[in-house]
């Protein structure tokens, strides 16, 4: 495992981060370009706020936890400056996108912009100690909690009452955000939020008959036999399980840890494509045709998060099945996603494993899942798994 750890560190420091440092900085207007072709050339200059926040987070986190590289700090600060200057509407909610110069393009309909703005500024505060970074992170966090029951607000197109569903993404993100903002948010709020999201994820969205977590459930957690209700996103389940494992580790809750590993393994079995390898993007729980035309594609973030999940699961418990899955995912990902020629990972493969798009960044892919995953895997595999297992 030490050899894996070294390889992940080299991939992060020599292959992935240099790609973003070299290509993503907008020297003219501030902020980051994220629409980058295979070789790093900028192909579009729009700025998606959630990816701006994510990149500020990644640079700040690596500066805090990996190495105090001045260029990482400087890029994080110039990203935050652009965000703070241009990113919010009059209510303090974050726009979805801006043009290159910072003028709003798309309204604040998407609460994930706010989640990653808060997370990015929270991490940057650990680097800079500037009050403004903590304050805006905290104010944004409060707005997220206030909006959480109707995150889309007036842009919500669902007719009220006929089929009320709630989505898994927000509680999932909040379970990670709560831990990320512990240094800013009071302990009572953090603890009660953690209890609430663990209950939502592990009880409400979890379905005992299949051992899986659904993307959308009825308000009381019951299964909904509809397109939305039948949808399974294996990557989301697996990513959420390592968020939950971090909480289990923090609480020394071995029961929760074991349940997380069971669910993650179940999601991997369910999502793995036996024909071509890799994890499918979407499946219908009843094997009906899903609405998502991209259902059979292999996405970078799904595999990056699965690597983190299995590395943590093995490191925390020594579970041999998790080591086997980790090695299988590692082989698939480094053979198909990683691009040693130009750096970073391809984002979108077709079912057969060939690049469907050769971009390295776009509207939905930025400097986040790959470097975070490489750093998490490196960090966790540095520890001796067996010692960790014995501790528990």
| Shortest reach from residue 380's CB to a copy of itself, in Å | 31
**What's the angle, vertex CA 48, arms to CA 42 and CA 50, rounded to 5?**
130
- Our CB check for a copy of itself shows the closer of 79 and 290 to be 290
- Our CB check for a copy of itself shows the closer of 99 and 203 to be 99
CA-based nearest residue to 47, from 79, 18, 78, 90? 79
Binding interface with a copy of itself (CB under 8 A): 37, 43-44, 46, 95-96, 99, 103-107, 109, 154-155, 157-159, 162-163, 226-227, 288-291, 293-297, 348, 350-351, 356-359, 362-363
- Our CB check for a copy of itself shows the closer of 357 and 389 to be 357
| Shortest reach from residue 158's CB to a copy of itself, in Å | 6
- Our CB check for a copy of itself shows the closer of 107 and 128 to be 107
| Shortest reach from residue 152's CB to a copy of itself, in Å | 9
Asked if 168 contacts 216 with a C-beta cutoff of 8 angstroms, the reply is: yes
| Shortest reach from residue 356's CB to a copy of itself, in Å | 7
Query: From the CB of residue 44, how many other CB atoms can be counted at a distance below 10 Å?
Result: 15
Asked if 215 contacts 231 with a C-beta cutoff of 8 angstroms, the reply is: yes
Cα radius of gyration rounded to whole Å, the chain = 20
| Shortest reach from residue 266's CB to a copy of itself, in Å | 24
- Our CB check for a copy of itself shows the closer of 323 and 363 to be 363
CA 87 – CA 100 distance, rounded (Å): 12
Token output for 327: 């090695």
- Our CB check for a copy of itself shows the closer of 225 and 269 to be 225
Q: Which residues contact 72 (CB under 8 A, 6 or more apart)?
A: 17, 21, 59, 60, 62, 63
| Shortest reach from residue 90's CB to a copy of itself, in Å | 12
Query: From the CB of residue 31, how many other CB atoms can be counted at a distance below 10 Å?
Result: 29
């Amino acid at each position: 495992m030490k050899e894996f750890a070294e390889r992940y560190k080299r991939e992060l420091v020599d292959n992935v981060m240099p790609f973003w440092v070299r290509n993503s900085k907008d020297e003219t207007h501030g902020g980051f370009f994220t629409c980058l072709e295979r070789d790093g050339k900028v192909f579009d200059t729009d700025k998606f706020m959630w990816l701006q926040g994510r990149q500020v987070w990644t640079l700040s986190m690596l500066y805090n936890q990996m190495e105090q590289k001045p260029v990482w700090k400087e890029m994080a600060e110039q990203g935050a400056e652009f965000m703070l200057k241009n990113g919010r509407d009059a209510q303090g909610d974050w726009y979805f996108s801006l043009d290159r110069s910072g003028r709003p393009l798309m309204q604040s309909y998407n609460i994930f912009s706010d989640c990653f703005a808060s997370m990015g500024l929270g991490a940057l505060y650990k680097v800079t100690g500037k009050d403004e970074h903590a304050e805006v992170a905290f104010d944004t966090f409060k707005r997220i909690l206030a909006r959480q029951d109707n995150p889309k607000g007036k842009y919500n197109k669902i007719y009220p009452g006929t089929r009320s569903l709630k989505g898994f993404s927000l509680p999932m993100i909040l379970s990670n955000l709560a831990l990320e903002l512990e240094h800013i948010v009071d302990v009572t709020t953090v603890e009660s939020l953690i209890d609430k999201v663990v209950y939502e994820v592990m009880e409400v969205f979890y379905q005992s008959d299949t051992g899986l977590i659904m993307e959308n459930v009825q308000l009381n957690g019951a299964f909904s036999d509809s397109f939305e209700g039948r949808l399974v996103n294996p990557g989301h389940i697996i990513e959420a399980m390592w968020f939950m494992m971090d909480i289990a580790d923090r609480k020394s809750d071995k029961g929760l840890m074991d349940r997380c590993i069971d669910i993650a393994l179940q999601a991997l079995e369910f999502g793995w494509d036996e024909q071509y390898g890799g994890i499918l993007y979407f499946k219908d729980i009843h094997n009906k045709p899903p609405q998502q035309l991209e259902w059979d594609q292999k996405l970078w973030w799904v595999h990056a998060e699965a690597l983190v999940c299995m590395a943590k699961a093995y490191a925390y418990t020594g579970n041999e099945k998790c080591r086997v899955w980790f090695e299988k995912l590692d082989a698939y990902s480094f053979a198909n996603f990683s691009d040693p020629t130009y750096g970073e990972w391809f984002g979108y493969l077709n079912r057969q494993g060939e690049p469907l798009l050769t971009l390295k960044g776009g509207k939905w892919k930025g400097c986040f899942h790959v470097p975070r995953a490489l750093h998490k895997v490196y960090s966790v595999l540095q520890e001796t798994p067996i010692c960790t297992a014995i501790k528990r």
